[in-house]
Amino acid sequence: MALIVQKYGGTSVADTKRIQNVAERVAKTYDAGNQVVVILSAMSGVTDKLIGMAGSLSDMPDKRELDVLLSTGEQTTAALLAIALKSMNYKAESMLGFQADIQTDCNFGDARIVDIGAHRIKSGLDRGEIIVAAGFQGCDAYGNITTLGRGGSDTSAVAIAAAIEADMCEIYTDVDGIYTADPNVCDKARKINTISCDEMLEMASLGAKVLHKRSVEFALKHKVLVYVRSSFNEEEGTMVVNGENDMERPVVSGITFSKNEARITLKRVPDRPGIAAAVFTPVADADINVDMIIQNTQAGGTTDMTFTVSKDDYKGTLSLEKEIARKIGAEAVLGDENIAKVSIIGVGMKSHSGVASMMFDALAKENINIIMISTSEIRISCVVAEDKAELAVRVLHTAFGLDKTE
Ligand code: ASP
Ligand code: MG
């Protein structure tokens, strides 16, 4: 007997027929002698629709009320699945975030889980129930409903798996697993059988959309075994494991891209101590995340500074920097929204040299200009023109030997 958490994404519960299919899958796992906790997303499209409705009443919907609204998407699917299971004569119980004791901070719309009191889930399991928990939602210390950020039900699942010490957290989605690149962009992409948490974390941070980044952080921290697979077939999926042993270890395991990037350059900034702080502190104070930073030292006591932020933060950052530029005496502020970040990821990089030059070479051969570069131990990212992103992914996929052969 194992304790298994299964999370089903929006397309897997898109209508009542699919919810019935999920009920049958869950029942099968239960009948095999396992204890099962199910975490659900809202039906696909529902969260967007709810956001749209709020938007039609207010340009800036109140964040607390927005969370009350958005949590109904998952409330609906959790209730429907429990209804389906009960009508099949299974003991089941739906739980909303507060009932499952998912305690979060007060950051509406992007709350973080601070603790999970697994008591109620565990006693339900002890009574032989299948627990059906609404994903994406929690409850703050004042009893307010919170949500965990878009895509957050993955995080609910892994966090609950950690709290109840589940043997495995299965993430059911509409793709067969994690691919070496987005199959919609690169038709030679292959499914990865096993990937390390570290690589998965980079991939989730750098544009791969299959798993919510914070769910991987939870898996890493609490050593949860995560298995990503399709709810539409019986294909083997991708196992996300802690540690690097016994794995296929190509130098590069995957290629990702993100178009949610924008670049800002301050021209001819006076080159003296304290300038970087002057440029970036107001940005940090505005809760804007800066990603890559480049500073060139130049003659004449001035330097150019270039950095990237997400596209959503572009306009805000640009106007902040224009003000800063005036104060510190920089010559001009330029920006570019039409960029993308293409990244190669692999733990194998730690023990290989020449990976970066191979990447630059492959891009050069296709005449793709590199605008910025950044690296970590297991990743290299290049900023390129937005309209070259897909081509760059395909070129790198081939260059690093990831193309499927058949
Ligand atoms: N329903 C939420 C969203 O669409 C959470 C999730 O599906 O993971 O973002
Ligand atoms: Mg998702």
How confident is the model at residue 90, as a pLDDT?
A: 98
Residues contacting 282, CB < 8 A, separation 6+ = 320, 324
Q: Domain for residue 388, yes or no?
A: yes
For residue 354, how many other CB atoms are within 10 A of its CB? 9
Beta strands in 91-201 (DSSP E): 92-95, 102-104, 113-116, 130-134, 137-139, 145-147, 168-173, 194-196
Beta strands in 200-331 (DSSP E): 226-230, 238-241, 254-270, 293-297, 302-309
Which-ligand-closest: CA of 48? 1
How confident is the model at residue 348, as a pLDDT?
A: 87
SS3 56: coil
Say which residue the tokens 């499927």 belong to. Answer: 404
CATH number of the domain where residue 85 is located: 3.40.1160.10
How confident is the model at residue 246, as a pLDDT?
A: 54
CATH number of the domain where residue 328 is located: 3.30.2130.10
Q: What's 286's DSSP letter?
A: T
Q: What's 370's DSSP letter?
A: P
Same domain flag for 148 and 292? no
What CA–CA distance (Å, rounded) separates 360 from 355?
9
Of all protein residues, the one whose alpha carbon is nearest to atom 8 of ligand 1 is 151
pTM given for the model: 0.89
SS3 319: helix
What CA–CA distance (Å, rounded) separates 121 from 94?
10
How confident is the model at residue 351, as a pLDDT?
A: 85
Last residue of a domain, one of 119, 147, 174: 174
How confident is the model at residue 167, as a pLDDT?
A: 97
Last residue of a domain, one of 144, 174, 204: 174
Which two three-digit tokens encode residue 218? 């939870």
How confident is the model at residue 244, as a pLDDT?
A: 65
How confident is the model at residue 124, as a pLDDT?
A: 98
What CA–CA distance (Å, rounded) separates 213 from 200?
8
Q: What's 191's DSSP letter?
A: B
From 173, 222, 228, select the one nearest 200 (Cα to Cα). Answer: 228
Of all protein residues, the one whose alpha carbon is nearest to atom 6 of ligand 1 is 151
Same domain flag for 16 and 140? yes
Same domain flag for 24 and 116? yes
What CA–CA distance (Å, rounded) separates 322 from 146?
35
Q: Domain for residue 330, yes or no?
A: yes
Q: Domain for residue 38, yes or no?
A: yes
Same domain flag for 169 and 275? no
**Could you list the residue range(s) of the whole structural domain that residue 117 is in?**
3-174
Give distance in angstroms: CA of 43 to centre of ligand 1. 9
**Is the CB of residue 306 less than 8 Å from the CB of residue 265?**
yes
Q: Domain for residue 275, yes or no?
A: yes
Q: Domain for residue 70, yes or no?
A: yes
Give distance in angstroms: CA of 351 to centre of ligand 2. 33
Same domain flag for 160 and 303? no
From 36, 38, 47, 37, select the one nearest 14 (Cα to Cα). Answer: 47
Atom of ligand 1 nearest to the CA of 73: 1
Number of domains in the chain: 2
Q: Domain for residue 191, yes or no?
A: no
What CA–CA distance (Å, rounded) separates 317 from 289?
10
174 lines ligand 1 (CB under 6 A): no
What CA–CA distance (Å, rounded) separates 217 from 198?
9
H-run or E-run covering 383 = strand 379-385
Give distance in angstroms: CA of 153 to centre of ligand 2. 7
How confident is the model at residue 280, as a pLDDT?
A: 96
SS3 180: coil
Which two three-digit tokens encode residue 123? 């006693």
Last residue of a domain, one of 141, 174, 207: 174
Same domain flag for 164 and 46? yes
Q: What is the pLDDT along the chain (406 residues), one digit of tens a residue?
A: 899 999 999 999 999 999 999 999 999 999 999 999 999 999 999 999 999 999 999 999 999 999 999 999 999 999 999 999 999 999 999 999 999 999 999 999 999 999 999 999 999 999 999 999 999 999 999 999 999 999 999 999 999 999 999 999 999 999 999 999 999 999 999 999 999 999 999 999 998 888 999 999 999 999 999 999 999 999 999 999 987 655 556 789 999 999 999 999 999 999 889 999 999 999 999 989 999 999 887 778 899 999 999 999 999 999 999 999 999 999 999 999 999 999 999 998 988 889 999 999 999 999 999 999 999 999 999 999 999 999 999 999 999 999 988 6
Q: 246, exposed or middle or buried, with CB in 10 Å at 0-12, 13-18, 19+?
A: exposed
For residue 173, how many other CB atoms are within 10 A of its CB? 24
Residue 305 — φ and ψ, nearest 5°? -125, 130
151 lines ligand 1 (CB under 6 A): yes
Same domain flag for 42 and 160? yes
What is the 3-state composition of the chain as percent helix, strand, coil, each rounded to the nearest 5? 40, 25, 35
How confident is the model at residue 247, as a pLDDT?
A: 56
Q: Domain for residue 295, yes or no?
A: yes
- Residue to substitute in 47, 155, 215 for testing ligand 1 pocket (most ligand atoms within 8 angstroms of CB): 47
Q: Domain for residue 207, yes or no?
A: no
Which two three-digit tokens encode residue 400? 């690093």
CA atoms within 13 A on the CB side of 305: 22
